[in-house]
Structure 1
Amino acid sequence: METSHQPRNSGTGKIFNNPFLERLTRTHISLPLTAFSMISIYLIYQSVAVMGIAVGTTMLLFLGGLLFFTFIEYMMHRHVFHMTEDTPAKKKFVYTAHGVHHDYPRDKDRLAMPLPVSLVVSFVFFLIYRLIMGDYAYAFLPGFLMGYAAYLWVHYMVHAFQPPKNALKIWWVHHGIHHYKQPDRAFGVSSPIWDLVFRTMPEKSK
């Protein structure tokens, strides 16, 4: 299926004809938020109480993981979910992973990756971090996971709620521009920092 790039204000898209697979593409936002919060608490406990990493070091690694997630979020959104759809396989992948969300941005059941998939991806990241930084991965990964949880919550809020009348409105404006005006810009959801770094902030003239 191809993305129409014409956002609907209601309704939902169909990804799979198989009803079981189609059901697996839907996730209530509370599931990943709860799961990754609990996993992060456990890993921080392991870092301090079991691995013996100092509390201050754990906090710095946690913040490092949080910041690193915002970078991964930006790169995935820009270069994977918005890759050039020059083959049928790429078109199907982009629509399944992200295009259906652009077609139906108010579909609350598709604002988060299915929990089984996100758990597997998180475990792969843990193995990579463990290989690179050893026991410090127990402090770094929780920051990364809570970065993901923060991204999910921000993404859910901007699609499910009306924008507030305060400084937090920038999240709604920034992501709304990406969805409705300039899909080739404003890739940061939880933070616009990497849009600033890589010069993909929205063009004011538009």
Structure 2
Amino acid sequence: MRMKNLELFMGVHHLVDWSKPMLAQIGSLKDKYSDWVNKPVDRPLRLFGPWYLEILTKTPWWVVPSFWVPVILYILYNETADFQTKAINTIIGAFIWTLLEYSLHRWVFHVETRNAGRWLCTFHFLMHGLHHKTPFDPYRLVFPPFPALIIAMIIYAPISVIATYPRVLLAGGLLGYLAYDMIHYYLHYGNPRLWHLYQMKRYHYQHHFVHHQLGFGISSPLWDFIFGTPIHLRKLKYLLKW
């Protein structure tokens, strides 16, 4: 009974050694992983032991537009379609991204981890659990370009078979992804004045700290309402100061 009370007092943070690399410890959490990962902390977290691996897990926000804006412009510039066709397919690609954003966030990043095995918990932590555990880490809020490039190539494969202008659709999807990543960073570190971004910041914070299995839309709650996973925000009598 005394040990149980101590665990309740300390929460689940004592289950790992914060002075050691975290990734190697995730598998040992077993059935406690789901509770542990959904209790955020504001403290440094080291993922790998070797510095040359650890540095690869950290991405300043400006790296993402610096990498993807030239790629998007290059694709659109070298496409032979006329301007109207490019514009329409770019918009379609960006809209498709919003569904992909929701789907990845809900069914991949928030895969059920209760009673999950060592490898699934480790995969979840690498993909998204790390962000939920340390949501205030400014270097782990955007997705590193290299793994994002691999995912983009995988997604492009079926598009290239079925679409008339697959490269333009890809450019539109990448544009949507870029907007999402920048919005996501801003929701964590910005002080929005525009109504939509202000509401999305409240929405996203509710997802992080209260409703982990709701509110999967980052740039927009559209697909949450369509699929029945919205977070209904309480009307405030005053503006929050972030």
| TM value normalised by structure 1 | 0.90
Equivalence for 1:176: 205
With over 3 angstroms needed to count, the CA separation of the structure-2 counterparts of 1:181 and 1:163, relative to structure 1, is: farther
RCO comparison, higher one (Cα < 8 Å, 6+): 1
Match of 2:46 in 1: 14
Q: Secondary structure at the match of 1:73?
A: helix
Q: Which moved more, 1:171-180 or 1:18-27?
A: 18-27
Residue of structure 1 in register with 2:178 after alignment:
149
* Residue from 78, 86, 93 that aligns with 2:123: 93
Specify which of 55, 66, 72 is matched with residue 23 of structure 1. Answer: 55
**Aligned equivalents of 1:43 and 1:21: distance in 2?**
31
Q: Retained in 2: the 8 A contact 1:46–1:138?
A: no
Which residue number in structure 2 is paired with residue 60 of structure 1? 88
Select the residue among 57, 61, 75 that pairs with 1:43.
75
Stretches (4+) displaced over 6 A? none
2-structure distance, mates of 1:11, 1:59: 44
Q: Is the 8 A contact 2:215 2:229 kept in 1?
A: yes
Local SS of the residue matching 1:168: helix
* Equivalent pair of 2:38/2:133 in contact (CA under 8 Å): yes
1:4 is aligned to 2:34: no
1:105 CA displacement: 0.7
User: In angstroms, what is the RMSD of aligned CA positions?
Assistant: 1.7
Counterpart contact for 2:203–2:233, Cα < 8 Å: no
Kept after mapping to 2: 8 A contact 1:65/1:141: yes
Distance 1:125 1:4 in 2: 29
Distance 1:170 1:204 in 2: 8
User: Which residue pairs with 2:105 in the alignment?
Assistant: 77
Is 1:111 paired with 2:111? no
Q: Is contact 1:154-1:171 (8 Å) kept? A: no
* TM-superposition CA deviations, 1:44-102 (whole Å, max 9, x none): 1112xxx3x12111111101100111101101000111101211111111111111111
Cα deviation, 1:128-160, whole Å, max 9, x if unaligned, reads 3222225x0121111100101000111000111
- What is the CA–CA distance in structure 2 between the aligned matches of 1:152 and 1:29, rounded to whole Å? 8
Could you report, residue by residue, the CA deviation over 1:109-134 in whole angstroms, capped at 9, with x for unpaired residues? Answer: 00112221112222222333222225
Distance 2:225 2:195 in 1: 22
Aligned length: 199
* Aligned match for 2:160, one of 127, 130, 136: 130
Counterpart CA distance in 2 for 1:87 and 1:13 is 22
For structure 1, the residue ranges without an aligned partner over 5 or more in a row are none
**Structure 2 alignment gaps of length 5 or more:** 1-25, 27-32, 235-242
Q: Distance in 1 between matches of 2:162 and 2:110?
A: 29
| TM-score scaled by length of structure 2 | 0.77
**Closer, same or farther: CA 204–116 of 1 in aligned 2, 3 Å:** closer
Aligned partners of 2:44 and 2:166: how far apart in 1? 38
Name the SS of the counterpart of 2:163 in structure 1: helix
Q: Which has the larger radius of gyration?
A: 2
Rounded to whole Å, the distance in 2 between the matches of 1:119 and 1:7 is: 29
Deviates more, 1:121-130 or 1:38-47: 121-130
CA contact (8 A) 1:186 1:195 kept: yes
Range 99-108 or range 157-166, more displaced: 157-166
